[in-house]
Amino acid sequence: MPHIVAATDFSARSQRALRRAGLLARQIGAELTLVSVVDDDRPEGIVAIERHEAEKFLNEQIASLAELRGVSCRAATATGEAFEGILDVAKEVSCDLIVMGSHRKQVLRDVFIGTTIERVIRTGVYPVLMVNAPAEKPYERVIAAVDLSPASARAVKAAHALHLLDDADITLLHAFLASNLNRMKLADASTIEIDAYIEDVRERTAADLALFRQEHGLTDAAWRSRLAEGGAFEIIERIAKRERPDLFVIGTHGRSALVKALIGSVAEEALRSLDVDILAVPPAR
């Protein structure tokens, strides 16, 4: 039986995550563990009291949330750093998915140490669903951002295995760059020449995307391929704002924490900036 872990700090953001986790658990017949992590950098007696209160609040959520009715559900608490506690519980129950609410925007703090959700994704091995929108129904419009890497194929497969794509309208989105475009403009190429060049790059990219889908078994005929010229995050952000899909699926790449802190990644930019639900799937480790 699949197992979902939903993390909460009892905020409104976390409430949405619990509701979505309940809907998913009911939809796919999964067990659900609600977890809250208590800071242990205080006297032992205070930590024990707060852990007891956290477990009490979790059980109250289980009893009161309509989305959790009929779901096999239990409460769990942990102590320490939030991301470590969440991952400890996820490992303990052999979870298939971690569900979390969107993080608070704390720019300076986020730049230097990362948010809890980013650290769960960066150091864990589990798909993580960040919930931004109210949980009212199963996902109906899903866009999976693919960059022709094994990591992006793994993300789509994970979403499919978790039944997040069931009965949904699916688009595999690939952003491509026409690398010689600026050079052609500087050389005063005509509009006809520029358009012909972009179309040629688009056709070659479409062939690459078709081969990628074939090689990775992403061959469902109902899944549309879509190409857009531009930077990856630029395209993702524009489509998210204009078309408002229910869910974005993004694979993450295994880069060092230092490099990530300095230049970021498409997945991290999406997690920090987009106001839609996002499934982020880390690479196999």
Asked whether residue 104 falls in the same domain as residue 199, the answer is no
Q: How far is CA 107 from the centre of its chain?
A: 20
For residues 124 and 84, the answer to whether their CB atoms sit within 8 Å is no
Confirm if 208 and 148 have CB atoms less than 8 A apart: yes
What string of pLDDT tens digits covers the 285 residues of the chain?
A: 899 999 999 888 889 999 999 999 999 999 999 999 999 888 888 889 999 999 999 999 999 999 999 999 999 999 999 999 999 999 999 999 999 998 655 544 444 346 888 889 888 999 999 999 998 889 999 999 999 999 999 999 999 999 999 989 999 999 988 877 777 777 777 888 877 888 888 999 999 999 999 999 999 999 999 999 888 889 999 999 999 999 999 998 754 443 343 334 788 888 888 889 999 998 876
Residue 177 and residue 119 in one domain = no
Residue 130's identity, in one-letter code, is M
Do 42 and 103 fall into the same domain?
Answer: yes
> Are 139 and 191 a contacting pair, CB within 8 Å?
no
Q: Give the domain CATH number at 68.
A: 3.40.50.620
Q: Give yes or no: residues 155 and 279 share one domain.
A: yes
Structure tokens at 271: 């997690």
104 and 151 in one domain?
no
Strands 97-101, 73-79: pairing kind: unpaired
pLDDT of res. 260 = 41
Q: Report residue 133 as tokens.
A: 């929108």
pLDDT at residue 104 in the model: 55
pLDDT value, residue 261: 39
Decide which of 131, 150, 169 is a domain's last residue.
131
Q: What is the pTM assigned to this prediction?
A: 0.89
Q: Is the domain of 148 the same as that of 108? A: no
* Residues 12 and 101 both lie in one domain: yes
Same-domain check for residues 7 and 59:
yes
Question: Does 94 share its domain with 51?
Answer: yes
101 lies in the same domain as 176: no
pLDDT of 197 reads 81
Provide the β-strand partners of residue 131. Answer: 101
Query: How far is Cα 164 from Cα 30, in angstroms, rounded to an integer?
Result: 13
Q: Are 191 and 212 within one domain? A: yes
Residue where a domain terminates, one of 85, 100, 131: 131
Number of domains in the chain: 2
Residue 263 pLDDT: 37
Point out the domain boundary residue: 84, 99, 131: 131
Check residue 103 and give its pLDDT: 62
Per-position DSSP letters for the chain, written without gaps between them: --EEEEE--SSHHHHHHHHHHHHHHHHHT-EEEEEEEE--SS-HHHHHHHHHHHHHHHHHHHHH-GGGTTS-EEEEEEESSHHHHHHHHHHHTT-SEEEEEPPP--HHHHHHH--HHHHHHHH--S-EEEE-S---S---EEEEE--SSHHHHHHHHHHHHTTTTTT-EEEEEEEE--TTHHHHHHTT--HHHHHHHHHHHHHHHHHHHHHHHHHTT---TTSEEEEEES-HHHHHHHHHHHH--SEEEEE-----HHHHHHH--HHHHHHHH--SEEEEEPPP-
Same domain, 120 and 146: no
Q: Range of 211's domain?
A: 137-285
